[in-house]
Amino acid sequence: MRCTHCGEGGLEPGFVGDFGEASRGFARWVQGALERGIFGGARLMGRPKWEIEAYRCPSCHHLELFAARRA
């Protein structure tokens, strides 16, 4: 895999952490545009959620994100 920003190889695997209360520790990609509920939080009911793989370029620090697995 090569960086789509600078073309460097050797991207480092990782993920986008989520350290909020009641979080499982990783952020997820949610299908569909953001809609907020009455308390301002995102509406998540019935929305497909995907784990996010994040590869970091060691040269320019660009992140390549992939939503590869249902979460």
Interacting residues toward Zn ion by CB under 5 A:
3, 5-6, 8, 57, 59-60, 62
* Between 52 and 57, CB nearer to Zn ion: 57
* Between 37 and 58, CB nearer to Zn ion: 58
* Between 2 and 69, CB nearer to Zn ion: 2
Calculate the dihedral angle through the C-alpha atoms of 38, 24, 18, 11, rounding to the nearest 10 degrees: -140
C-beta of 17: minimal distance to Zn ion in Å? 21
Q: How far apart are CA 34 and CA 43, in angstroms?
A: 7
CB distance 49 to 30 below 8 Å: yes
Q: How far apart are CA 46 and CA 66, in angstroms?
A: 21
C-beta of 66: minimal distance to Zn ion in Å? 16
